Amino acid sequence: MLSKEFKTKGPSARLDEIASAANLTPEEKALFAQYGSLDSAVANRMIENVFSTYALPLGIATHFTINGRERLIPMVLEEPSVVAGASFAAKLAQPNGFTASSTEPVMIGQVQMVGIPDLKKAQDAIQANKARLTEKANAKDPMLVSRGGGVNDIQTRMLKTGRGDMLIVHLHVNCQDAMGANAVNTMCEAISPDLEALTGGQARLRILTNLAIHRTATATAIWTKDALAESTKNTLTGEQVVNAILDAYEFAKNDPFRACTNNKGIMNGIDAVVIATGNDWRAMEAGAHAFAVKNGQYTSLTTYSKTPEGHLKGEITIPVAVGLVGGATRTHPLAKICLKIMDVKSARDLGEVLASVGLAQNFAAMRALSTEGISRGHLKLHAKNIAVMVGAQGDDIDRIAAQMAQEKNVNAARAKELLEKKA
Ligand code: NAD
């Protein structure tokens, strides 16, 4: 899809290649060529008290094959090594790449009901009136319903609390290609007076949950022993690498301290794509971490096992509350084009890409950590950041970074020394 030289080209030549691979129009391409192409009028409509915009690097992860299709993955983030890590993991998973699937895009809206005299009776009344409540909620979003979405179930949960028993009503809403927060919140608000009348209680909070257990995507990939051995330049055998990664996985599975950082690494990749597509990364973060503790102990979002042939199989399942319409997905001019570059056609498809990227990112970190250590991959860009931090400019940045990387001694004191040496 992209040339072998892509990596070594400058940003503008890389843009030429991406524009041609993704069939971007000249106008779309021009938007990427302007730094901070979010103009102030657009930004001013997005949030309050806008006085400027704030640019971040936009990179592209390569070598991704997902369900047999090659995909280019735009990523927005400030951290070095993430784009390279994802691309490397995807390359090692070739030629089969990632197999991904997803559930229907169903979000849950919650209505908190308090002061109910008879909880059991209230639950029965809600169940008996499900059709009427569904109709009322759906009437709030004819556009969503016309696209096959809308409420598909209403459930209730009793909650014992320090302020008495509460009834929590769950509205299951198929959000189709929207993330759905506004749509679901509006529906919850619309049925609250009816819930009050049916239960004799008062409706308090009416808002969706980010713990989107009914809207998940799963991705799997197999990294062969040969690919794994090669990734260490055959300093280790494939079997050694598989075993080292399985040990690393057991650590993350059983220790929340490790699992937390393990999952942070997964979200490095996922958030970067979520941001590139104008989606709500706080929603993704909240959902992912809550999902990681769904069985009572915080654990790894990925799992790893050995195939009968001795290869490494990785798998991830995550909630994917993302959309192609709504929020900033259509207002941010670059978000739409990033979706085009990925060739994403539905919110479910985007969720499957996110799961694949999360798995790739995690594998990259697991492989590096359990073989040569994470610092090596970070070294070059990290060294440049340190050089900038001590005040280096222009050619000095590369000179100081290269020297520190060669010495394997990357720190601010050494960078300052090298800067002063020249001066
Ligand atoms: P939205 O209300 O802007 O747009 C969604 C609407 O688009 C749907 O309700 C539907 O009427 C319409 N639509 C058109 N074509 C559609 C299609 N193909 N599929 C589905 N709907 C289609 O956005 P939203 O998705 O309801 O809400 C997302 C926003 O809500 C994000 O900006 C998020 O940051 C914000 N938000 C999040 C939370 C949270 O995560 N807890 C809470 C409040 C708000």
Taking the C-alpha atoms of residue 366 and residue 119, their distance in angstroms, rounded to an integer, is: 48
Which residues does residue 100 pair with via DSSP β-bridges, in sequence order?
219
**What CA–CA distances, in Å, run from 23 to 177, 315, 399?**
23, 32, 38
Question: Atom 2 (ligand 1): residue with closest C-alpha?
Answer: 182
- HEC string of 78-91 equals CCCCHHHHHHHHHH
Residues 122-135 have pLDDT tens digits of 999 999 999 999 99
Residues with a catalytic annotation lie at 79, 264, 280, 378
Any atom of ligand 1 within 6 Å of the Cβ of 287: no
> In the numeric block, which tokens belong to residue 106?
């169903």
Lowest mean pLDDT among 290-294, 350-354, 412-416: 412-416
Paired strand residues for 306:
312
CA distance 238 to 92: 12
Tell me: the pLDDT tens digits for 273-330?
Answer: 999 999 999 999 999 999 999 999 999 999 999 999 999 999 999 999 999 999 899 9
The helix or strand, by DSSP H or E, that contains position 101, with its residue range, turns out to be strand 98-102
Instruction: Kindly provide the b/e burial profile for residues 368-379, where b requires at least 16 CB atoms within 10 angstroms of the residue's own CB.
Output: bbbbeeeeebbb
Each residue of 29-80: pLDDT tens digit?
A: 999 988 777 888 999 999 999 999 999 999 999 999 999 999 999 999 999 9
Provide the residue type at 419 as one letter. Answer: L
109 lines ligand 1 (CB under 6 A): no
Q: Which of 48, 104, 138, 144 to mutate to test the pocket of ligand 1 (most atoms within 8 A of CB)?
A: 144
Residues 6+ apart with CB under 8 A from 107: 172, 173, 175, 179, 180, 181, 184, 208, 209, 212, 214, 215, 321
Q: Which of 47, 140, 182 to mutate to test the pocket of ligand 1 (most atoms within 8 A of CB)?
A: 182
Please say whether the beta carbons of 284 and 353 come within 8 A: no
CA of 175 to the centre of ligand 1 (A): 8
Measured by CA distance, the residue closest to atom 34 of ligand 1 is 280
pTM (whole model) above 0.85: yes
Q: Given a cut of 70, is residue 377 above it in pLDDT?
A: no
- Chain centroid to Cα 338, Å, comes to 14
Question: What count of other Cβ atoms lies within 10 Å of the Cβ of residue 145?
Answer: 16
Which residue has its alpha carbon closest to ligand 1 atom 7? Answer: 326
Interatomic CA distance for residues 404 and 238, integer angstroms? 32
Among 141-145, 182-186, 412-416, the minimum mean pLDDT is found in 412-416
Quote the pLDDT of residue 423: 62
Span 67-99, pLDDT tens digits: 999 999 999 999 999 999 999 999 999 999 999
DSSP 417: H
Q: Tell me, using a 6 A CB cutoff, whether residue 113 lines ligand 1.
A: no
Please state, in angstroms and rounded to a whole number, the distance separating the CA atoms of residues 134 and 340.
35
Tell me what the mean pLDDT of segment 371-388 comes to. Answer: 78
Mean pLDDT, rounded, of the chain: 95
Q: How far apart are CA 68 and CA 320, in angstroms?
A: 21
The span from the CA of 219 to the CA of 297, in Å, is 22
pLDDT in tens, 218-272: 999 999 999 999 999 999 999 999 999 999 999 999 999 999 999 999 999 999 9
Task: Give the position of tokens 């909650």.
Answer: 159
Distance 328 CA to ligand 1 centre (A): 9
